[in-house]
Structure 1
């Protein structure tokens, strides 16, 4: 069993916010792999799917972004899933829009949702970091992540979410490096397309 949890806020007004890109990823994965119905479990909306011989539990915590750890921890404890088999999908201010990086462990870098998950299962879970860019001023961060993606961002966002869903078989089999590589190759970030070469973090 592997748990894939998307971070987001549960009220409809937040649906298309940058902060909800983790929820968006869960929805696209569920649709692409014909997951079972979403049900209320573990303080979340949860659904299950099987990819090859691997079972996945998808979670959209309904505890609000900053308290997501309570839902993730409850599910991980119930299924006795080790932290390394928990993957949390979230928006990442420190990555340019459209960039995607996987990371195992580490700090929260000011992300309260990641802090919450760490408080429940420790830091050694995987983070699927979806770049949304930074507004340039830390005083504008809250308004930025709680605003909708711009119209101009929709193209790369759809491509990236589709690439994540299309590559889930590699993640489910435990080949995390291949998962990241396929996602970034299938959906290069906008600046990669413009410059024609990968850029550094």
Structure 2
């Protein structure tokens, strides 16, 4: 990461909360848990401390550190299953907002990492978190929880950003959309080649975030 990529116009401290969606074991290495795998690669890329479980953050696995002295970053692995991610993400983000490291006048950027069937395997795409989830139940859960808790409105009012980054996993053979075929596909093991691509995306991810947040 560059020294000024995430700095705001006045050179003040910036806070970023990056949370991954996925599933707990035995599906933590599946296509549907691509967000978790990307988060771990990011922790290694940034040379942040090992993940630790945190009760205040709803038993999420967290790792935090600074980038270039003025960027506070927390990495958070959501502990809930994919379809029930919302409440856990909202609780963890609320806790981060209340932490001393967070800025007072401007809420931290919220970034959600997830798998994306609408992208070819290996691709990354950054978008607005409130945009259509396109059938992704984990994103739907997060969006619903942010609305129901009022966090989404307060995030916008405090000039915070809600972003998401999808990692492409493609679709099952034949592009079938049958529910049972899709479920078997996303819960299947991420192929080794795609996993290597995913683990190599940490630098690209940070470049995407730098470009967006610096706008």
Q: Work out whether the TM-score is over 0.5.
A: yes
> Out of 31, 52, 58, which is 2:44 matched to?
31
- Contact 2:38–2:198, Cα closer than 8 Å, also in 1: no
Task: Tell me, in whole angstroms, the C-alpha distance in 2 between the residues paired with 1:34 and 1:156.
Answer: 23
For structure 1, which segment, 59-68 or 123-132, has the greater mean C-alpha deviation from structure 2 after superposition? 123-132
TM-score by length of 2: 0.71
State how far apart, in whole Å, the 2-side matches of 1:49 and 1:22 are: 19
- Which structure has more RCO (C-alpha within 8 Å, separation ≥ 6)? 2
The answer on whether the counterparts of 1:5 and 1:58 sit within 8 Å (CA) in structure 2 is yes
User: Where do 5+ consecutive residues of structure 2 fail to align?
Assistant: 1-14, 153-160
Contact 1:89-1:127 within 8 A present in 2 as well: yes
Q: Distance in 2 between matches of 1:59 and 1:138?
A: 31
Q: Which stretch of structure 1 is more off in the superposition, 140-149 or 103-112?
A: 103-112
- Assess, with a 3 A threshold, how the Cα gap between structure 1 residues 115 and 132 changes in structure 2: closer, same or farther: same
1:176 matched residue in structure 2: 212
**Cα drift, residue 169 of structure 1:** 4.7
5+ residue gaps, structure 1, are: 179-201
C-alpha distance in structure 2 between counterparts of 1:143 and 1:159, whole Å: 22
- Work out whether 1:3 is the aligned partner of 2:17: yes
Matches within 5 A, 1:1-201: 1-11=15-25, 13-41=26-54, 42-43=57-58, 44-52=60-68, 53-80=70-97, 85-104=109-128, 105-122=130-147, 125-135=162-172, 136-139=175-178, 140-150=181-191, 154-163=192-201, 165-167=202-204, 169-170=206-207, 174-176=210-212
CA contact (8 A) 1:84 1:125 kept: no
Cα deviation per residue 1:118-169 (whole Å; 9 max; x = unaligned)? 012247721101110111112211110000123xxx3344234323x22455
CA distance in 2, matches of 1:85, 1:21: 21
Contact 2:34 2:198 in 1 (8 A): no
Between 1:131-140 and 1:77-86, the stretch displaced more is: 77-86
Aligned residues: 172
RMSD of aligned alpha carbons: 2.4
CA distance 1:84–1:106, change in 2 (3 Å):
farther
Over 3 Å off, 4+ runs: 81-84, 167-172
